[in-house]
Amino acid sequence: MTDRHISPDVRGAAIKLKGAHGSCYFLQDKRCRIYNDRPHFCRAFPVNVFVGWRIQLNANLSCRGIGLPGESLEDIGNDLLNGFGQERLASETATAGRVFSDFIRNCRDAAVSQSFTSLRETGKLLGDELVDPLGLSRLLTYAETGRTAQNSPARDIVKRVRRTDPEANIEERALIDGTELFDLPDLSLLPVYVDEQLTWRIYRLVGKEIVEYALAEDGKIDERLRTDPSNVELITMNGGAKAAMKDYVGTVNSRDCFLGHAAYLCDSENYDFNFAQVYLGALANNALDLWWRSSFLAHLKSKDELGPAEIREGLVFFDMDLLDLPTIGAFI
């Protein structure tokens, strides 16, 4: 049966979606009909194995099952690594390591390099700025206008950020980026939010409104409501929300795939900016994206303050998309 439902347009095994943008063909009433024979990436979910200059396991925090009783993520990760075998892992790491080495050499040639350790230390030291309006504005302004010497110590970079005038309008940026998120030509490309009742919701920009649809397994959509995005503002975070967001940003800062994403951006921008500026700009943009998505969902519920629960809902809506960003290195 599976051979009739594999897309011929994608290299490797790609199971078709019902109705072109609904569920996997083998899902019925939200249960997998081939669970014991499910493909590798289904078996691995919610753990991702990223290969860069080393191997790192990442948890997909969009999964609502994380934290529930059952098989541990560590056990899933170890089983995955054991299944690959040492020979393949060594081969994959050698290949990805060469890509990262090439990137480091290109940065040095362009005089924009920073050590990975200093970048992460900088991100850690700027944790409070990443959950603060003025701090985010300073970081985004620094990313675009800063002048950073190659191989600067983390504390020197932090000083430069904190001395930067906060010129970036984060409300405006959040609205533009948030609206563009839903302005995609194909329903299958839109982010999916799995709500607390496990209903699949998608949002699409139609004219000047964002339309919410409930997505059924067969790909049918049912319009639920319409929202004017210009009415969605960044909602104030209370102390618990800031702590939750800071904790998540720390997780992102520790992910090798995110560092690989910043490297991808640096390369695509032809090494015109110091790697610290690219990295911190990407970190700030993603923090702002999470804040806006959390605010968007809270706005739909007429809430006027974000707490830890609202940030958690934003994470469910956001983390899968973050893990799907282009990067150097590879998920296997």
User: What is the structure's pLDDT at 315?
Assistant: 97
Using CA atoms, how far residue 154 sits from 141, 149, 218, in Å, is 18, 11, 51
Whose CA is closest to 73, among 58, 88, 83? 58
- Per-residue pLDDT band at 5 (split at 50, 70, 90): very low
DSSP symbols for 206-247? ETTEEEEEEEPTTS-EEEEEEE-GGG---PPB-HHHHHHHHH
- Average pLDDT on 97-112 reads 97
> Model confidence at 136, in pLDDT bands (50, 70, 90)?
very high
Q: Average pLDDT, stretch 94-109?
A: 97
Cis peptide before 8 (omega within 30 of 0): no
Asked whether 216 and 222 are in contact (CB, 8 A), the reply is yes
User: For position 12, what pLDDT does the model report?
Assistant: 52
The string of pLDDT tens digits covering residues 256-303 is 999 999 999 999 999 999 999 999 999 999 999 999 999 999 999 999
**DSSP code at position 152:** -
Share of the chain above pLDDT 90, in %: 84
Q: What is the pLDDT of residue 13?
A: 60
Region at 147 (left for phi over 0; alpha for psi -120 to 50; beta for the rest): beta
Task: Write down the mean pLDDT value for the chain.
Answer: 93
Count of CB atoms within 10 A of residue 197's CB? 5
Q: Which residues contact 73 (CB under 8 A, 6 or more apart)?
A: 46, 47, 57, 59, 66
pLDDT digits (tens, 9 = 90+) for 33-92: 999 888 888 889 999 999 999 999 999 999 998 888 887 899 999 999 999 999 999 999
